[in-house]
Amino acid sequence: MTGAGTATRRGAPYTGSAWMIMALACACQFMVILDASIINVALPSIRRDLGFTPTALPWVVNGYLLTFAGFMLLGGRAADLFGHRRMLVAGLSLFSASSLAAGLATTPEILVASRLAQGLGAAMLAPATLAVINTGFPEERARARAFGAWSAAGGVGGMAGAVAGGAITTGLSWRWVFLVNVPIGAVLIAMAVMSLAGTRTGRREPLDLAGAVTGTAGLAALVYGVMQSADHGWASPPVAGPVVAGLLLLAAFVVVEARFAAHPMMPPRLFGIRGVAVGNGMLLLFGATAMAMWYFTSLFLQNVLGYDALQTGLGQTPAAVTFVVVARLAAALLPRAGVRPLVMAGCGCFVAGFGWLAQAGAGSGYLTGVLGPTLLVAAGIGLTFPTLMAAATAGVPGGDAGTVGGLANTANQVGGSIGLAVLASAAGARAAAEAEASSPAALAAGYDLVFLMAAGLGLAIAAVSLLLPRPAAGDSDAAAPRTPD
């Protein structure tokens, strides 16, 4: 039986230095996640300048997230078939060009179309960055450190969005929220061409068109339906129709991949690697847990404590710094401690931090009501996110690195989308049960319920982690995900 240590016997496939490869992967991940959050603060200015209707404005955000989540499986497989460098360069080119179009948009239709294209570019980029790390760092400890840096870059991108968006929109214009990506993208394309010059060109296999259509359409329909739940009930046609259609298409995708595809987009054999199967299950739950932290604590600060957008971003900065520091620490500990102990420690932080957050109310102060518990939860995210990503992609042959990277990113994004919809519904229902449903006290009650549910998700992640294979004698379970004989 060969383990994750198989990777340590591969030769590094790239000609660039290790620091440049890691810097490239981290910068791409930072830019992809930043663009999912930086736009929020700029929405009022965009609505005023371009004449968006209230119902159309959310699609400036949702359009990006829809294509990002829907096309990542396809993007991951394309990276394996056509080469990691090609997909990185193609994704960066599309992302930069669509950013330019968004920054120059003169109508709502042009801006939404540009955001859809941006999400598609991000779906090409994100799996390729994971594949680059998985194949570019063959030694286990170096790969763990690279995963820690990659995870930290994404976390910083997500948290920097509110602060950067507010500063750019106030000091320049909302258009520069998009235009700033153009020169950055040009630099990253040059880095990709230089540092990944030694990458192979990909397999000589046809693309699984039936799998691509059913998988991509299924994910897109599911995510679209879930997004509609913010404005419609779960049983309403705008929600139930796309969700049911998405689930049916995903079921067809499973049948196609298992029975009919000669070269499946998502080879079923990959789920024979227990780390892949269990790791992605945990990432689904983790996506919802992380959303409870960043999204709902932001709402608590604004709607309960009365902070403005910039104050909210600054108020969450200590948690972001904690996440970055702990993620790097987790990467250093992973080869020695193993996956399960780090996940258990992270889940302990989730339960303690969210349990503490659930006690906050309209009369709470920032230091004791928000700062303390969010530092605990951020530490839990820092311990678990790079660990889960490493577990979900370990023991995978180099030719499948992009596919598994796409699967891991998809699990995290879809888990976050579904989690946000479910948690938002629960918060709204709880607030509506109060006498004054829109009062800070009623909203706080809804957010407190979300935090308790997030603590339960932390326990669920810990329970699922018990399904990971036990390490071999004398080994840590960091290398537990193994390929079959």
Among 145-159, 215-229, 372-386, whose mean pLDDT is lowest?
Answer: 145-159
pTM for this structure?
A: 0.76
More confident residue, 376 or 147: 376
pLDDT at position 348 over 90: yes
The mean pLDDT value for 328-346 works out to: 87
pLDDT at position 96 over 90: yes
The mean pLDDT value for 258-270 works out to: 81
Q: What tens digit of pLDDT does each residue of 363-372 get? A: 888 888 899 9
What's the confidence (pLDDT) of residue 452? Answer: 94
For the chain, the domains span 4-207+265-479
What's the confidence (pLDDT) of residue 47? Answer: 83
What's the confidence (pLDDT) of residue 111? Answer: 93
The mean pLDDT value for 45-53 works out to: 84
The two three-digit tokens of residue 419, written as one number: 């989690």
What is the average pLDDT score of the chain?
Answer: 80
What's the confidence (pLDDT) of residue 3? Answer: 36
pLDDT at position 203 over 60: no
The mean pLDDT value for 94-105 works out to: 94
What's the confidence (pLDDT) of residue 405? Answer: 76
What's the confidence (pLDDT) of residue 277? Answer: 85
Q: Which residue has tokens 């530092």?
A: 375
The mean pLDDT value for 55-65 works out to: 78
Q: What percent of the chain has pLDDT over 90?
A: 20
* Residue 349 CB burial class (10 angstroms; 0-12, 13-18, ≥19): buried
485: how many CB neighbours lie within 10 A of its CB?
5
Q: What tens digit of pLDDT does each residue of 153-196 get? A: 777 776 666 667 667 776 778 888 888 889 989 999 988 888 77
pLDDT band at 8 (very low <50, low <70, confident <90, very high): very low
More confident residue, 265 or 462: 462
Q: Of 3.40.50.720, 1.10.10.10, 1.20.1250.20, 3.30.70.1710, which CATH number belongs to 4-207+265-479?
A: 1.20.1250.20
Q: Are 112 and 379 in contact (CB under 8 A)?
A: no
More confident residue, 450 or 260: 450
The mean pLDDT value for 369-391 works out to: 89
pLDDT at position 205 over 90: no
Among 196-200, 315-319, 446-450, whose mean pLDDT is lowest?
Answer: 196-200
pLDDT at position 303 over 90: no
pLDDT at position 1 over 80: no
Encode burial over 22-60: b for 16+ CB neighbours within 10 A, e otherwise. Answer: bbbbbbbbbbbbbbbbbbbbbbeebbeebebeeeebebb
**SS3 assignment for the chain:** CCCHHHHHHCCCCCCCCHHHHHHHHHHHHHHHHHHHHCCHHHHHHHHHHHCCCCCCCCHHHHHHHHHHHHCHHHHHHHHHHHCHHHHHHHHHHHHHHHHHHHHCCCCHHHHHHHHHHHHHHHHHHHHHHHHHHHHHCCCHHHHHHHHHHHHHHHHHHHHHHHHHHHHHHHHCCCHHHHHCHHHHHHHHHHHHHHHCCCCCCCCCCCCCHHHHHHHHHHHHHHHHHHHHCCCCCCCCHHHHHHHHHHHHHHHHHHHHHHHHCCCCCCCHHHHHCHHHHHHHHHHHHHHHHHHHHHHHHHHHHHHHCCCCHHHHHHHHHHHHHHHHHHHHHHHHHHHHHCHHHHHHHHHHHHHHHHHHHCCCCCCCCHHHHHHHHHHHHHHHHHHHHHHHHHHHHCCCCHHHHHHHHHHHHHHHHHHHHHHHHHHHHHHHHHHHCCCCCCCHHHHHHHHHHHHHHHHHHHHHHHHHHCCCCCCCCCCCHHHCCCCCC
What's the confidence (pLDDT) of residue 433? Answer: 84
Residue 229 and residue 445: Cα distance in Å, rounded? 21
What's the confidence (pLDDT) of residue 148? Answer: 75
Q: Are 157 and 30 in contact (CB under 8 A)?
A: yes
The mean pLDDT value for 189-212 works out to: 72
The mean pLDDT value for 300-312 works out to: 81
The mean pLDDT value for 445-458 works out to: 92
The mean pLDDT value for 65-73 works out to: 82
